[in-house]
Structure 1
Amino acid sequence: MSTPLLGYVDRPGPLHTLTGTAKLVLVIGIVGAAMISFDARFLAALAVASIVLWAASRIRPGDLAVVLWIVGTFMVLNNLLIFAFAPGYGTDLFGTRHVLIDGPGRWDLTSEQLFYQAVVTLKYFAVMPAMLLFITTTRPPEFASSLSRIGVPYRVSYSVSLALRYIPDVQRDFRTISQAQQARGLDTSKRQRLGVRIRNLVSVLLPLLLGALERIETVSSAMELRGFGREKRRTWFDERPFRARDLVVIAVAALLVAGAIALVVLNGGRYWNPFA
């Protein structure tokens, strides 16, 4: 079977050896630091660190090709929409105006706007690799135990774990139903016109949705029969004790957040202004 669209990749590397809690705290630290600070230097350092983590994780870009394509498309679309609806936001933000290209109407390309949108793009490179790495290097049961360990109610933790666990199953069912429908003459490939492909795709999604609802009902009934949710706390089979490397990772996450807060104080705001 092919690699899941988004899920655990069983190719052990350095990140696989960390506890789920340590990895989760690291991701929260990276995301929190990126949200707090808009300093381009800090975001560039986070982006480089995320890319280095990716290189060391043994996760290949092909394992998440579809997800990376979706994220990349959204990133480009986000930048285009920012420029379309707020082409002067960078100028208003930094208080100066250096025109690079004299465009029609108010759509002049300025250094300030280009720099602002580069900062927005850096946020994607700083946050997304770390988040995807956490999902691909953490098994769903360990993910659930890590959420519970940081204080998330175990009912919510287990629900998240189930959702991630069934992504490969849904992907497999989609492939099976699609192949069955193609055998009946419903082609969803690029050879068909877009309208025909969409109509044929509905014939695939409907049984997929009904099968997913049936699976949800089965799992819910099984969990209810076993008394899930009756107790206020529960133990986890995949919960592992912290080791030195886990404590180091948690400390790094705390330092990232502290560094982002310190930069806000030093810069007198969330942005670093190179045009001042």
Structure 2
Amino acid sequence: MTPSRCGPLEAGRRSPVHPGAWWLWALSLGTAATRTTNPLLLALLISASAYVVATHRSPTPTARSYTAFVRLALAVLLVRLLFATALGSPIPGTHTLLTLPEVPLPHWAQGIRLGGEVTAEALLFAAYDGLKLAALLICVGAANALAAPSRLLKSLPGALYETGVAVVVALTFAPHLVADVQRLRAARRLRGRPDRGLRGLLQVGLPVLEGALERSVALAAAMEARGYGRTAEVPARVRRTTTALTLGGLLGVCAGTYGLLTAEGGTYGLPVLLAGVAAALAGLRLGGRRSLRTRYRPDPWDARAWLVTGSGAAVAALLTLASARDPEALHPGVVPLVAPTLPLWPAAAVLLALLPALAVPKAPTDPKEPS
């Protein structure tokens, strides 16, 4: 039998989607979550991102950290409700749920209240606000689950390579720590030893810290063996040009953004912003000459990456447009106390986030890729 050969099109279909596309998709959904406080739209947004994560995440420690992000989002929501209960709310309400003992405060602390009446309107307003932040955290967790931050390191410009390594190491520390804690707790339960309480925490914490130290030493040895930090010699003229373009580009981005946000700078804001972005990109391009590195099996940016990025950007753009045209539907009021309604075409826009799960096939796990 002759071995079958797959063409370049089939090989491209079997390759994983570019990690930058998944991060842009998730950040776009997070941007869309900041444009509304409608709990129905936020729940639909969370459900869409969770479905894509369930169908396309890879079995890596970073992907398993999605549950931790969900728990963090629930904790943020509960803390927001607790603060609204204990510290009060400026939202007036007539439906009193309970009355707490009120602590008298001095005159210089006017506007702050400890205790007192807790109304349903205040709790509902706090729940809407906390759910928006929870949805944003879940979208960030979806980005971690769909594309490991370490994969983004291969796609960064050479000028940002050292910064990217530091960010990737910082982002991957927490998922590995969670995986180590789960593994050690499971091992202690199998041995019949307690894994809860202060004693169990101490006996689990020391091996976790020891494993983190060993991982740091191994990472440092691997970076040294691969020549990390080695730079190429470039002329002084190129270095000065790189510095001028990068700093000038960043200043242009700041000035252009300020012009877009103010009424007086509406004429010069967009041109200055575009010029600053172009100068900053040119500076990063020149700065990459100092980095001596090669890319092993780079992730291609193909039609699937454009589809994933475009679906997320469409959700963010449509919800931004809806918040400007129909703010009452995307920001339901709590006074009077009425149930929120689901606006139809913003809900249909959120459903575009499901497009990657339906149109992008999941790439098979590479046995050579470490999990």
Give the gaps of 5 or more residues in structure 2: 1-14, 58-63, 103-115, 232-289, 337-371
1:23 CA displacement: 0.9
* Alpha-carbon distance in 2 for matches of 1:229, 1:137: 29
The root-mean-square deviation of aligned C-alpha atoms, in Å, is 4.0
Q: Does 2:217 align with 1:208?
A: no
Letter aligned with residue 201 of structure 1: L
Which residue does the alignment assign to 2:277? Answer: none
1:19–1:246 Cα contact (<8 Å) kept: yes
- How many positions carry a matched residue from both structures? 239
Query: Structure 1's 107 and 152: CA in aligned 2 closer, same or farther, altered over 3 A?
Result: farther
Instruction: Give per-residue Cα distances to partners, 1:2-57, cap 9 Å, x unaligned.
Output: xxxxxxxxxxxxxx95321111111222223333x3x334x643531331232244
Query: Structure 1's 17 and 130: CA in aligned 2 closer, same or farther, altered over 3 A?
Result: farther
* Alpha-carbon distance in 1 for matches of 2:200, 2:178: 18
1:19–1:242 Cα contact (<8 Å) kept: yes
Q: Among 149, 168, 175, which residue is 2:183 paired with? A: 175
1:34–1:123 Cα contact (<8 Å) kept: yes
Which residue does the alignment assign to 1:72? Answer: 74
Matches within 5 A, 1:92-241: 97-101=93-97, 103-104=99-100, 106-111=116-121, 113-124=122-133, 126-145=135-154, 148=156, 153-162=160-169, 164=172, 167-168=175-176, 171-172=179-180, 175-176=183-184, 179=187, 187-190=193-196, 197-231=197-231, 232-233=290-291, 234-241=293-300
Which residue does the alignment assign to 1:19? Answer: 18
1:177–1:208 Cα contact (<8 Å) kept: no
1:138 CA displacement: 1.8
Letter aligned with residue 79 of structure 2: L
Q: Does 2:246 align with 1:246?
A: no
Query: Structure 1's 74 and 261: CA in aligned 2 closer, same or farther, altered over 3 A?
Result: closer
* Alpha-carbon distance in 1 for matches of 2:327, 2:132: 20
Give the gaps of 5 or more residues in structure 1: 1-15, 92-96, 191-196
**Aligned to 1:208, what secondary structure does the other structure show?**
helix
* Alpha-carbon distance in 1 for matches of 2:298, 2:176: 23
Letter aligned with residue 237 of structure 1: Y
Query: Structure 1's 55 and 198: CA in aligned 2 closer, same or farther, altered over 3 A?
Result: same
1:181–1:204 Cα contact (<8 Å) kept: no
* Alpha-carbon distance in 2 for matches of 1:273, 1:169: 40
Query: Structure 1's 166 and 68: CA in aligned 2 closer, same or farther, altered over 3 A?
Result: closer
Query: Structure 1's 57 and 204: CA in aligned 2 closer, same or farther, altered over 3 A?
Result: closer
Percent identity, please.
20
Larger radius of gyration: 2
Normalising by structure 1, report the TM-score: 0.66
Query: Structure 1's 223 and 166: CA in aligned 2 closer, same or farther, altered over 3 A?
Result: farther
* Alpha-carbon distance in 2 for matches of 1:166, 1:272: 34
* Alpha-carbon distance in 1 for matches of 2:21, 2:199: 45
1:109 CA displacement: 0.6
- Greater RCO structure (CA 8 Å; 6+ sep): 1
Which residue does the alignment assign to 2:362? Answer: none
